[in-house]
C-alpha cells in the first residue's frame, strides 16, 4: 500500500515559478502583507513613520525591477505555469502604473502628515480641519490597502488566463471599495460612493465570471492562448462564444468607465478622497485598458470582425456622452469624471485599430493621460476653503489673481486634456487617431475630433472662471504642502516633456508593441 502511494506521488511535479519575471507583482503584494503586520504590531504613533517609507520602498523597488526586465531581458515569457505573461506591453503598463502609484502615494501621505495640519491651521474653521487631519494621521491602514490595489493592477494586464485575471480584478477592486469610503469631511457622500462602487463592481465582476464560464464552455480552457487557438479551429458553439465575449466585455468596460457602464464614475470620483480619486483616474484606467488589450489582442484576435463593430459603438457613445454631459457639471471632480469617461472613448479608439500602431499609441496615451490626471487632482487638493476642498466651480472664480501659479498649472493640465498642441494630450490623441485612420476607422476618428472640440469648451470655461472672473471676498486659499507640490511638479514635467519631446516615449511604446503578447 505504501509503495503504491509513493509511486503515485512520484508522478507529482512541483510547479515551476519564474520568480524573477513576476517579481514586481510579488514585491508589491509582499510589502502590502508587511504593511498589514505593521498595523497589527507597531504602535499607533509609530505606524505612519513606518508605513510611508515602506510603501514608497515597495513601489520604487517594483518599478526598478520592471525597468530591469524591460531593458535587460527579452520579455517573451509565460510565467507561473502559464498563469501570467511577461512581454513588452505588460512591462510598459506595469511601469506606468507603478510610477503613477508613487505620485498618488505622495498625495495620500501628505494629507496624513503633520505638515498638512500646520498648513491647514491657517484657514478659517481650522479646528475642524485639524481634527480631520489628526484623524487621517492615524488612519494608516490606507497604505497596505493602496499596495494591495496596486498589486492587483499590475497583475491584471499580465494575466494569461481568465481566472487569474478575475483574481487580479478582485484584488484590485476590493481595497478600492474601502479606500473610497475614507473621506471624513464628506462622510455620507464618501460612504455612498463606496457603496455604489461596491454594488456595481460586484455586478460587473459577476458578468466577467459568467463570461469566463461561457468561454470555457466554448474553448474547453480559460487560457487566452487556448481560446485564440479554438477560434482558429472554430470548434465550439458560436452562441457560447459571442455570449461569453459580451459578458466578459461588460466587466472590462466597467473598470474603464465606458458608456453605458459609466454610471459609477461621477459619484465615486466626487465622493472619494481626492488622492484616491487621483489613483483611480490614473492607475485604474491604465490597468483596465491593459486588460482590454490583453483580452482583445490575444484571445480574441481572430474574432476582431465580430467585436470591432460593437467596440465602435461603445467608443462613439462614450466620447459623445462624456464630452456633452461634462458641460453641465458645476463640481470640479464630477467634471473631470465625465472628462475621464470621454478619454475612455479615445482609448477605445486606439484599441479598435487592432494594429501595432494602435497598441503603441494606446500605451503612450495611457501614460500621458495618467500623469495629467494625477497633476490635476493634486491641484484640487490644494484649493481649500472653510468646508474643505473647494469643489464647486464658482469657488474657483478669480483663482488666477489669488494664486496665479496654481491656476496656471491647473489650466495647463486642462489644456492637455483638451489636446492642445505642445501638450501630452495632443500627442496621445494624434497617435491613437492616426492608427485608427490607418485601420479604416476614419468615421470613428471624426467623432473623436468633434468630441474633443466639445470637451475643449468646458475646459476653457474653467480657465475663464479662474482668470477672468472677480474673486470672492471669502474665496478659497491655496494650501501648498511639500509632497503635494512634488506630485504636481512631476505631473507637470511629464505633461510638458510628453508634449514637447514625445519621441523617446513613443519609441519605447513602439518597441513594447513590437514585443507583442506570446500565444
Confirm whether 7 is domain-assigned.
no
**Structural domain contains residue 303:** yes
pLDDT category of residue 115 using cuts at 50, 70 and 90: very low
Q: Give this prediction's pTM.
A: 0.91
Give me the residue label for grid cell 491651521.
Answer: 121
Q: 448: alpha, beta or left, given left = phi > 0 and alpha = psi -120 to 50?
A: alpha
Decide if 9 is inside a domain: no
Question: Whole-angstrom Cα distance, residue 261 to residue 250?
Answer: 7
Rg from Cα positions in the chain: 23
- Give the cell for residue 375: 497633476
Residues 156, 162: Cα–Cα separation, whole Å: 10
Structural domain that includes position 393: 17-119+126-514
Domain contains 5: no
What's the pLDDT at 285? Answer: 94
Give the number of C-alpha atoms closer than 13 A to the C-alpha of residue 341, restricted to the C-beta side: 32
Span 55-109, pLDDT tens digits: 999 999 999 999 988 877 666 777 777 788 888 899 999 999 999 999 999 999 8
Give the per-residue pLDDT at 131.
37
In a domain, 10, yes or no: no
Ranking 268-272, 295-299, 382-386, 437-441 by mean pLDDT, the lowest is: 382-386
CA dihedral 478, 481, 486, 491 (to 10 degrees): -30
134 neighbors 114 (Cβ within 8 angstroms): no
Q: Is residue 295 part of a domain?
A: yes
Position 426 in a domain: yes
In a domain, 8, yes or no: no
pLDDT digits (tens, 9 = 90+) for 417-466: 998 998 999 999 999 999 999 988 899 999 999 999 999 998 999 999 99
* CB-based burial label for 235 (10 Å; 0-12, 13-18, 19+): exposed
The grid coordinates of residue 405 equal 501659479
3-state secondary structure of 172: helix
Q: Which of residues 112 and 283 earns the better pLDDT score?
A: 283
The tens digit of pLDDT for each residue in 286-326 reads 999 999 999 999 888 888 888 889 999 999 999 999 999 99
The answer to whether 24 and 66 have CB atoms below 8 angstroms apart is yes
- Written in H, E and C, the secondary structure of 33-66 is HHHHHHHHHCCHHHHHHHHHHHHHHHHHHHHHHH
Evaluate if residue 473 carries a pLDDT over 50.
yes
Residue 369, pLDDT above cutoff 50 = yes
Number of independent structural domains in the chain: 1
Using DSSP, state whether 392 is helix, strand or coil: strand
Provide the grid cell at 507. 519609441
Amino acid at each position: 500500500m505504501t509503495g503504491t502511494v509513493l509511486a503515485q506521488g512520484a508522478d507529482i511535479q512541483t510547479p515551476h515559478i519564474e520568480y524573477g519575471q513576476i517579481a514586481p507583482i510579488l514585491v508589491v503584494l509582499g510589502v502590502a502583507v508587511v504593511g498589514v503586520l505593521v498595523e497589527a504590531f507597531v504602535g499607533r504613533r509609530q505606524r505612519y513613520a513606518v508605513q510611508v517609507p515602506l510603501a514608497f520602498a515597495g513601489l520604487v523597488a517594483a518599478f526598478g525591477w520592471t525597468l530591469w526586465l524591460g531593458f535587460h531581458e527579452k520579455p517573451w515569457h509565460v510565467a507561473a505555469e502559464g498563469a501570467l505573461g511577461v512581454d513588452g506591453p505588460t512591462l510598459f503598463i506595469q511601469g506606468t502604473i507603478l510610477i503613477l502609484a508613487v505620485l498618488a502615494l505622495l498625495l495620500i501621505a501628505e494629507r496624513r502628515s503633520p505638515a498638512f495640519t500646520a498648513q491647514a491651521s491657517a484657514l478659517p474653521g481650522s479646528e475642524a480641519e485639524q481634527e480631520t487631519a489628526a484623524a487621517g494621521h492615524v488612519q494608516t491602514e490606507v497604505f497596505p490597502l493602496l499596495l494591495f490595489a496596486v498589486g492587483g493592477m499590475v497583475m491584471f494586464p499580465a494575466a494569461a488566463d481568465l481566472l487569474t485575471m478575475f483574481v487580479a480584478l478582485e484584488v484590485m477592486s476590493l481595497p478600492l471599495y474601502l479606500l473610497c469610503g475614507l473621506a471624513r469631511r464628506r462622510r455620507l457622500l464618501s460612504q455612498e460612493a463606496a457603496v455604489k462602487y461596491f454594488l456595481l463592481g460586484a455586478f460587473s465582476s459577476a458578468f466577467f465570471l459568467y463570461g469566463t464560464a461561457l468561454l470555457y464552455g466554448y474553448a474547453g480552457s480559460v487560457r487566452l492562448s487556448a481560446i485564440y487557438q479554438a477560434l482558429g479551429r472554430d470548434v465550439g458553439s458560436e452562441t457560447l462564444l459571442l455570449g461569453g465575449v459580451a459578458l466578459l466585455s461588460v466587466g472590462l468596460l466597467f473598470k474603464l468607465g465606458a458608456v453605458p457602464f459609466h454610471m459609477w464614475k461621477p459619484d465615486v470620483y466626487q465622493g472619494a478622497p481626492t488622492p484616491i480619486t487621483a489613483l483611480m483616474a490614473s492607475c485604474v484606467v491604465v490597468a483596465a485598458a491593459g486588460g482590454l488589450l490583453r483580452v482583445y489582442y490575444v484571445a480574441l484576435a481572430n474574432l476582431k470582425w465580430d467585436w470591432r463593430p460593437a467596440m465602435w459603438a461603445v467608443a462613439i457613445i462614450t466620447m459623445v456622452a462624456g464630452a456633452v454631459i461634462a458641460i453641465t457639471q458645476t463640481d470640479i471632480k464630477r467634471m473631470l469624471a465625465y472628462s475621464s469617461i470621454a478619454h475612455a472613448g479615445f482609448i477605445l479608439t486606439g484599441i479598435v485599430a487592432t494594429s501595432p500602431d494602435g497598441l503603441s499609441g494606446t500605451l503612450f496615451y495611457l501614460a500621458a493621460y495618467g500623469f495629467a490626471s494625477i497633476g490635476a487632482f493634486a491641484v484640487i487638493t490644494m484649493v481649500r476653503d472653510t468646508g474643505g476642498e473647494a469643489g464647486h466651480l464658482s469657488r474657483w472664480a478669480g483663482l488666477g489673481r489669488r494664486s496665479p501659479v496654481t491656476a496656471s498649472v491647473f489650466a495647463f493640465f486642462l489644456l492637455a486634456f483638451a489636446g492642445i498642441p505642445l501638450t501630452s494630450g495632443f500627442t496621445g490623441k494624434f497617435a491613437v487617431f492616426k492608427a485608427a485612420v490607418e485601420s479604416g476607422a476614419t468615421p470613428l476618428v471624426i467623432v473623436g475630433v468633434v468630441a474633443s472640440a466639445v470637451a475643449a469648451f468646458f475646459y476653457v470655461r474653467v480657465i475663464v472662471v479662474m482668470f477672468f472672473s472677480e474673486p470672492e471676498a471669502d474665496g478659497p486659499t491655496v494650501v501648498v504642502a511639500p509632497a503635494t507640490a512634488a506630485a504636481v511638479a512631476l505631473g507637470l514635467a511629464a505633461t510638458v516633456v510628453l508634449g514637447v519631446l514625445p519621441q523617446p516615449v513613443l519609441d519605447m511604446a513602439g518597441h513594447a508593441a513590437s514585443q507583442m503578447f506570446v500565444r
